[in-house]
Chains A and B, each alone.
Chain A
Amino acid sequence: MSTRLLSRLPDDFEEDPRYRVSVREAWIVVAYWVAFTVVLTAVAWGLGGGRSADEITFVLGFPTWFFWSAIVAAVALSIVPVFLVRGFFTEVSLAVDPGATPADDARRAEPSGDETNGERA
């Protein structure tokens, strides 16, 4: 059992460098989701949690807690992805092999006879 725990995984192959980009971007997404959740919950609960009906105040006809969380904070946070994408996301080719020569492409385009199961190759 302990040998399995410590056993190293094979790393004797060339990694696709594009995957590292995805890992970084996935963390940005998780951070954004956490921020969205925390901000909306905290604003709503901070302004409205546990209040009784006669303590409720209004902004433009909405309960104050709702106005600042579900409208103001949510709209503000839904603009943030524009900047996140511009600033931190990298354009990459989605091609099967971005460095492929025309000869590689021609070889891969040859019908393998069994297209749907070619994925097992």
Chain B
Amino acid sequence: MNADVIIPLLVYLAGMAAIGLWAYGRRRRAAAGEKTAQYYLGGRSLGWVVLVFTLLASAASAGTFIGGPGLGYSGGYGWILVSMFQVPTAFVVFGLLGKKFAILSRKLRIVTVTGFLRHRYDHPAVAILASIGIVGFLLAYMVAQFVGGARILEAITGVPYSVLIVVFAAVVTLYTGFGGFLADAISDTVQGLIMLVGGVALWVAVLSVTGGLGEVGTTLQQDHPGLLLLPGPDGFTAQMIASYSAQLGLLFCAVPHLTVRAMAYRDSRAMHTAMAVGPLLMCVITLGFLVMGPVARLFYPDLAVGDLAVPRMIVDVLPGPVAGALLAAPLAAVMSTVDSMILIVSATIVRDLFVEYVRPTTSDEGVSRAGTAVSIGLGTVVLLLALDPPAYLEYLIIFAIGGLEAVFFVPLVLGLYWRRGNTLGAILAMVGGMSWYVVATQWVEAMAFGVFPIIPATVVSLLLYAAGSVLGRPPSREVLVKFWGTTAEIERLTPADRIPVGR
């Protein structure tokens, strides 16, 4: 155990707790009637700095800091290339959902993705399918993130796994539970800065030790030539490379904990600046950490577990306190992803299931309080699952991100921009996209057509959506006015407008 490394980590955790307390204070002072939006969306007040970092930190999960460099170590440069497709994330998430999404969520007081779909398609089946997808996939994903992060830190610091899990879960749960979205967003910003500065510091340190990367190329060519090749050992054909871009770039805007960030900015100026600087920041973070994967081969030619290469290099190359601060980066990545997911699942359970179907009369204050209780409960569930990970966990993770994209992308984006999109189309698209994705991933490889299964699954979802929308009943006048009309028109709506057209 190494005190030099552990002390900066403890300082970092204390800082996160302080941010939670501060955000809790802000939330208690929020105006009556705005408490739910304050808890789940930070009162839609984010400026560009917080906006861009909260998006990037939530998107760059443990994958960028542990899994990614680990794959670079074991599978080579192809993995880094495909990871670069997460660079446009900020541009895509904010620009594709766009100002329309932000304006609609204000007009209709929507705070969740499910809320959006419920308004647009006006059917309980859509809302319930969406809620099940969010709760199931994100819960599994959170547990995996915790387990991954804690195992790495255990190997590096020597602190027992169970202690690490309990400390992580306690800190994340407390600041998210009490501080809500604002604590989540501000801590993401701190975490994002740590990742950025950490990435640069690691480069400087490694370059000063190795005296340049020229040696990396020649060493790899001699000892591990496969890492330099396309397709290489992990099969990066041209169509596989491009299909990673769909999963990590375009479709990423439909992953719910990123989608809600497109409701949370203060004004279009904040959104524009976040879109302009986001790609460059993500580029630096991704390249900075992932390139270290192959570079680590110089220091450790043959590790069995590639994931350990970069954390170990951090400890060996950098002086103790700096290493500790840098190890906070993967920890930060885990925490910033998990905190945003806890909030989404909490919002889904409280806002989309409890308030909608159990007690519609719950007050704004009540929803906000229930949010805290459910968030803390979720943190506890994740903690218990992570202490003793269930066997089927791995199985669910494979599906998590792709599954969410297959369920949400088409109903979300087409619902936003295509008037004819209707309830039948949405249900078919969600069920069809999900089923195709699972079957193609798990059982029938031919259904993937030699690319990532998410691509054919999205195409199927798109076709089903179009078919359902053309053949089924068009949306009611109410839905059209709510999603295309001015506020004055929305206020003039009468119950008669709910009756579907074409009857």
Which residues does A use to contact B, with CB under 8 Å? 1, 3-5, 7, 9-10, 13-16, 18-19, 21-23, 25-26, 28-30, 32-33, 36-38, 40-41, 44-45, 48-54, 56, 58, 60-63, 65-66, 69-71, 74-75, 77-82, 85-86, 89-97, 100, 111, 114-119, 121
Contacts of B282 in A (CB 8 A): 78
> B95 touching A61 by the CB < 8 A rule?
no
Q: Could you tell me if B230 and A62 are in contact, using CB atoms closer than 8 angstroms?
A: no
B216 contact set on A, CB distance < 8 A? 61
Contact of B99 among A28, A60, A92, A100 (CB under 8 A): A92
A-side contacts of B367, CB under 8 Å: 116
* Bound form: Cα–Cα A3–B489 in Å: 27
A111–B477 CA distance with the chains assembled, in angstroms:
27
Question: Could you show 30 A-B contacts with beta carbons less than 8 Å apart?
Answer: A9-B474, A13-B485, A14-B485, A15-B484, A16-B103, A26-B98, A29-B95, A30-B96, A30-B250, A33-B92, A33-B250, A36-B87, A36-B249, A37-B85, A45-B241, A48-B230, A61-B215, A66-B77, A81-B88, A81-B275, A85-B276, A91-B272, A94-B99, A94-B106, A96-B107, A97-B488, A100-B487, A117-B361, A119-B115, A119-B119
Residues of B within 8 A of A (CB): 32-33, 36, 77, 80-81, 84-85, 87-88, 91-92, 95-96, 98-103, 106-110, 115, 119, 212-218, 221, 225-226, 228-231, 237-238, 241-242, 245-246, 249-250, 265, 267-269, 272-273, 275-280, 282-283, 287, 291, 351, 355, 360-364, 367, 417, 419-420, 470-475, 477, 480-481, 484-489, 491, 501-502
Besides A15-B484, A48-B229, A54-B221, 5 new A-B residue pairs in contact (Cβ under 8 A), listed by A number:
A5-B470, A15-B486, A41-B238, A111-B33, A118-B109
The residue that A22 contacts in the complex, of B100, B228, B283, B488, with Cβ under 8 A, is B100
Do B229 and A70 touch (CB < 8 A)? Answer: no
Closest to A60 in B: B213
Return chain B residues, CB-CB under 8 Å to A117: 355, 360-361
Query: Given the complex of chains A and B, what is the CA–CA distance between A53 and B214 in angstroms?
Result: 16
Please, how many angstroms separate the alpha-carbon atoms of A106 and B250 in the complex? Answer: 41
Q: List, in ascending order, chain B residues with CB within 8 A of A111's CB.
A: 32-33
CA A3 – CA B474 in complex, angstroms? 11
Nearest-neighbor residue (CB-CB) of A114 within chain B: B361
User: How far apart are the CA atoms of A11 and B387 in the complex, in Å?
Assistant: 56
CB distance from B181 to the nearest CB of A (A): 16
Interface contact B81-A70, CB-CB below 8 Å = yes
CA distance A10 to B33 in the complex (A): 33
- Whole-angstrom distance between the Cβ of B73 and the nearest chain A Cβ: 15
Beta-carbon contact of A29 and B351 below 8 Å? no
Task: Give bound CA distance, A4 to B502, whole Å.
Answer: 6
- Cβ distance B367 to chain A, nearest Cβ, rounded Å: 5
